[in-house]
Amino acid sequence: MRIFSSLRAVVSALFHRTQIDKEVEEELRAHIQDRASDLEHSGVPRAEAERRAKLEFGGYQKFKEECREAQGTHFLETFIQDLRFGLRMLRKSPGFTAIAVLTLALGIGANTAIFTMMNGLMLHTLPVRDPGQLVELLHHYPDEPEPGFNGFSWDAYQTMRDGNHVFSDLIVGTMNSFTVRGDKLQPQSVFGGGVGETFFQGLGVKAAAGRLIGPEDVHMGYHAPVAVVSWSLWKSRFDLDPGIIGKNIVIDDAPVTIIGVAQRGFYGLSHEAQQDIWLPISLGPSPGWGFGLLARLKPGVSIEQARAEMAVLFQTVVNAPDAGPFVRGMKLRIEPAGNGVTTPLSQMLSTPLTVLMATVGLLLLLACANLAGLLLARGVSRQHEMAVRACLGAPRARLLRQTLTESLLLSLVGCAVGTFVAYFAAHALIRVFASGRFIMGLPVHFEALTNPDAHVLLFTLAIALLTGLLCGAAPAMSASKTEPAFALQQASRIGESKSRRLFGKGLVASQVALSLVLMSSAGLFVEYLSHLRNLNLGFERNNLLLVTLKFPQSDDNDAQFSRLSQELVMRLDAIPGVRSATFSAMSPMEGPGASSFAFAEDHPEKRTQASINYVAPDYFETYGTPFLAGRDFSARDQAGSSVAIINEAAARDCFGTENPVGRHITLSHVTLTKGDKTYEVVGVVGDAKYNDLQQPAPPTIYADLLQQGFIGSQLAIRTRIDPGGIASAVRQTEAAVLKAVPIVRIMTMNEQIDSSIVPQRLIAMLSAGFGALGALLAVIGLYGLLAYTVAWRTHEIGVRMALGAAGTDIVRIVLRDALWMVCAGLAIGAPLAFWGKRVAGSLIPDLPVASPLPIVVAAAIMIAVGLIAAYLPARRAMRVDPMVALRYE
């Protein structure tokens, strides 16, 4: 306990304890001196007088100490005293302490973990000047569910920059991956972006060294070959060498000079996608509609004003004569961006995180109720102690403080352990999230999402204090209410006031209610997951092996690779267990796809947004997608005119009820072909999901991969046996045929589907875990309360049995009590669970909210759990020996 003495010293110093001590000493000495003088006057020699004065005074040190105590102790000193005592009490009952701390650590840890990620992803403000003024611009199509995309053309940027009156700055930037080498740097991929001339200035980002890119570096058509790097890149690759300024490096084969380092902590426009290098915007590849826009509102301009003005201005962009057909119908959205621009990661994670946050909040409440019950029961066993303290003159407030200090102590220890748990949990969580499919090439800035900052620590401390107060208040009130005389006499016998018993039962009922909510939501998500897994995909998901190849990025060898690919497919077909093999530009659920606007022949005014894939012959056979009309691609097509196969949705949208086979369809602005291209429809296939499990199958147009002269990096192999069994044979064959082409990954279709629904799977998994944990806590709570109910009713049970009650009657009484509590809990919990379902349903589309099954199952489980928890105490009650129980008095 040395820590306490040093703490005490600190407190003493803080509150002038030594000063007060000095005054006491001065006063006491004055007394002794006075007495000595008096004695001297009566004729005693000085030395003897002083000796006698001291003697008469009595125990000098003892009285000094008493004076100090009589003055009362300081708040903090009492607190330390209480803390010390609390620790001693906790050490005395390690079992209770362990359960309590563990319960709290899980509750607080789960909350902190989820909050850490939410904080990093949704609440963290950009380290820039006045982030509250920042807004981002997104384009979207009103008839589509997607929330919008922050990408604009250069023309759109210029029109909006020059025409608006609401922004003090319109900041343009792109996100790109660069290959960086030179100056001792190994060639490496670094994520960064191009920046407009007002980027750093407009954001208010300062330079940590050198200078940042400004108007003098950026001109369309001419660009200064300069670059700015992030502080973390400066540290990790250059060891904070000040000589970095002026260094020449090579970015994407172009020599540039590093002119500066951005301020520490600045990673670009979003917190979770870390950018480490910036070039003047014209240096990067020029994406058509790939310029991200961020704006700073003029002081006094509201976001509504900006929306109104910019909507009009954007119409001039959309209606420009040279605007492509896909721009038509596009609308502008403006959203606050103080927390960074929207990224696919934040879009993907914000809803799951919100749902999880609500879940862990409930879990913490449950933990509170549980702990309050435990503390209450413990309070009864300590009633005697409290009575003695009250008899010895401890005021009620003091007892209240002591008990509250103990519960706060528990919650703080729980908080410390929980923070530890949270750190690892957040890391594990983000890894699982990130194991999901490729997120548009954005490198995830893991540290930003998993490292707790001051906000997180404050949050944790706040919930810990709140928890301590919440679960400690009622037991503390009840403990401090002890009537000393009564308690001293009766503590061992009656022990329970009616109100306290009711409160205990209320706690159990609320635990049951909370568990019901947790478990029914767990059931809901599990059902949702199984619904997702059993969706009709439009292709056969089992026994399908997917192999991703990485072809070198030059066009020179395409013809040769195309020929070798066809040879590979033939060799794969020969492997025993393989039914068919094919390749395509992309595979379903792989991730990003291509889309375009399709115009049917004779209907140029009607535009259909269609997903695109390039597939080799046998694609549909391999995937198990049925032909509804027409034929598959064949080798003959390679010489003829462009052909395409469309799915049912595309046929319906483009041609209505007409037969599409033999008709023509034009695609505009396809990612790979650049420009319009017309195809003859040769076949119609069934609808199949494209890259999103939850969206209905989009209109899809499949072009002939071989005819278009592309190479497909996605091999698909339909097997008769378990696809994992042929993976090694596939590897060998591939290595033999395509020597220079490495395999990036091999996975089954089912694995690929699972990786496309990682957030959903994670919510289902976590909420199921939390539900189980909730049920467990409820069991502990119920068992604890019943066990101790039976213990204090031993006397009553003994009397009943002595009067002739059978053991089964006693069991019935105890079980009835338990059932009552569970049913009360269910009655409270069911409406809450229904409400929770509705809220979750509003956040997540397609949630099977109509199904009553989860709540019914959860209720059944709670009743079963209640009976099990009641069984042991009931059995103990049955075995009460009336004689022993009565003599026990």
Partner 1 sequence: MSEHAQILPGTLDLLILKAVSLGPLYGYGILLRIEQISHGALLIEQGALYPALFRLVRQGLLKAHWDTSENNRRTKFYELTIAGRKRLRQEEDGWNRLVTAIASALKAQPEEI
Residue 80 has which token pair? 């330390």
CB 711 within 8 A of CB 563: no
Kindly tell me which of 59 and 300 has the beta carbon lying closer to partner 1: 59
Amino acid 658 reads E
Residues 282-321 interacting with partner 1 (rule: CB under 8 A): none
Kindly tell me which of 78 and 642 has the beta carbon lying closer to partner 1: 78
**Min dist. Cβ of residue 63 to partner 1 (A):** 4
CB 575 within 8 A of CB 729: yes
Beta carbons within 8 Å of 39's beta carbon, 6+ residues apart? 48, 49, 52, 53
Kindly tell me which of 40 and 252 has the beta carbon lying closer to partner 1: 40
Is 867 a residue that touches partner 1 (CB under 8 A)?
A: no
CB 344 within 8 A of CB 439: yes
Is 70 a residue that touches partner 1 (CB under 8 A)?
A: yes
Stretch that binds partner 1, among 18-26, 279-287, 459-467, 868-876 (CB under 8 A): 18-26
Is 567 a residue that touches partner 1 (CB under 8 A)?
A: no
**Min dist. Cβ of residue 54 to partner 1 (A):** 10
Is 25 a residue that touches partner 1 (CB under 8 A)?
A: no
Residue 310 has which token pair? 């910019």
Is 63 a residue that touches partner 1 (CB under 8 A)?
A: yes
In this structure, how many other beta carbons lie within 10 angstroms of the beta carbon of residue 825? Answer: 28
DSSP, collapsed to helix, strand or coil, labels residue 643 as: strand
Stretch that binds partner 1, among 58-66, 455-463, 547-555, 585-593 (CB under 8 A): 58-66
CB 210 within 8 A of CB 261: yes
Stretch that binds partner 1, among 21-29, 136-144, 634-642, 653-661 (CB under 8 A): 21-29
Query: Of these, 44, 67, 388, 823, which contacts partner 1 (CB under 8 A)?
Result: 67
Is 24 a residue that touches partner 1 (CB under 8 A)?
A: yes
Question: In the Cβ-directed half-sphere of 111, how many Cα atoms lie within 13 Å?
Answer: 28
Stretch that binds partner 1, among 27-35, 260-268, 616-624, 661-669 (CB under 8 A): 27-35
| Closest of 791, 788, 777 to residue 825, by C-alpha | 777
Is 437 a residue that touches partner 1 (CB under 8 A)?
A: no
Is 27 a residue that touches partner 1 (CB under 8 A)?
A: yes
The pairing of strands 700-704 and 608-615 is: parallel
Kindly tell me which of 73 and 755 has the beta carbon lying closer to partner 1: 73
Kindly tell me which of 74 and 384 has the beta carbon lying closer to partner 1: 74
Kindly tell me which of 34 and 155 has the beta carbon lying closer to partner 1: 34
Is 57 a residue that touches partner 1 (CB under 8 A)?
A: yes
Taking the alpha carbons at both ends of the chain, their separation in whole angstroms is 41
Residues 30-49 interacting with partner 1 (rule: CB under 8 A): 30-31, 33-35, 37
| Closest of 586, 573, 633 to residue 614, by C-alpha | 586
Is 26 a residue that touches partner 1 (CB under 8 A)?
A: yes
Query: Of these, 48, 66, 540, 881, which contacts partner 1 (CB under 8 A)?
Result: 66
| Closest of 575, 866, 562, 841 to residue 726, by C-alpha | 575
Instruction: Please give the helix or strand (H or E) that residue 259 lies within, else none.
Output: strand 254-262
Kindly tell me which of 30 and 428 has the beta carbon lying closer to partner 1: 30
Stretch that binds partner 1, among 50-58, 128-136, 681-689, 807-815 (CB under 8 A): 50-58
Kindly tell me which of 56 and 540 has the beta carbon lying closer to partner 1: 56
CB 707 within 8 A of CB 671: no
Q: How far apart are CA 346 and CA 105, in angstroms?
A: 28
Residue 412 has which token pair? 């703080």
Stretch that binds partner 1, among 23-31, 277-285, 605-613, 641-649 (CB under 8 A): 23-31
Q: Is 744 exposed, middle or buried (0-12, 13-18, 19+ CB in 10 A)?
A: exposed
Residue 67 has which token pair? 């004076």
Kindly tell me which of 70 and 574 has the beta carbon lying closer to partner 1: 70
Q: How far apart are CA 720 and CA 4, in angstroms?
A: 72
Q: How far apart are CA 223 and CA 220, in angstroms?
A: 7
Question: In the Cβ-directed half-sphere of 378, how many Cα atoms lie within 13 Å?
Answer: 25
Q: Taking the mean position of all CA atoms in its chain, how far away is CA 282?
A: 37
Is 28 a residue that touches partner 1 (CB under 8 A)?
A: yes
Stretch that binds partner 1, among 19-27, 377-385, 515-523, 682-690 (CB under 8 A): 19-27
Handedness of CA 636, 638, 643, 647 (dihedral sign): positive
Is 71 a residue that touches partner 1 (CB under 8 A)?
A: yes
Is 56 a residue that touches partner 1 (CB under 8 A)?
A: yes
Stretch that binds partner 1, among 63-71, 219-227, 575-583, 584-592 (CB under 8 A): 63-71
Angle between helices 154-163 and 303-318 (to 10 degrees): 130
Stretch that binds partner 1, among 65-73, 250-258, 344-352, 587-595 (CB under 8 A): 65-73
**Min dist. Cβ of residue 428 to partner 1 (A):** 56
List, in sequence order, every beta strand (DSSP E) within 436-553. 544-549
Kindly tell me which of 16 and 31 has the beta carbon lying closer to partner 1: 31
Give contact residues for partner 1 (rule: CB under 8 A).
23-24, 26-28, 30-31, 33-35, 37, 56-60, 62-63, 66-67, 69-72
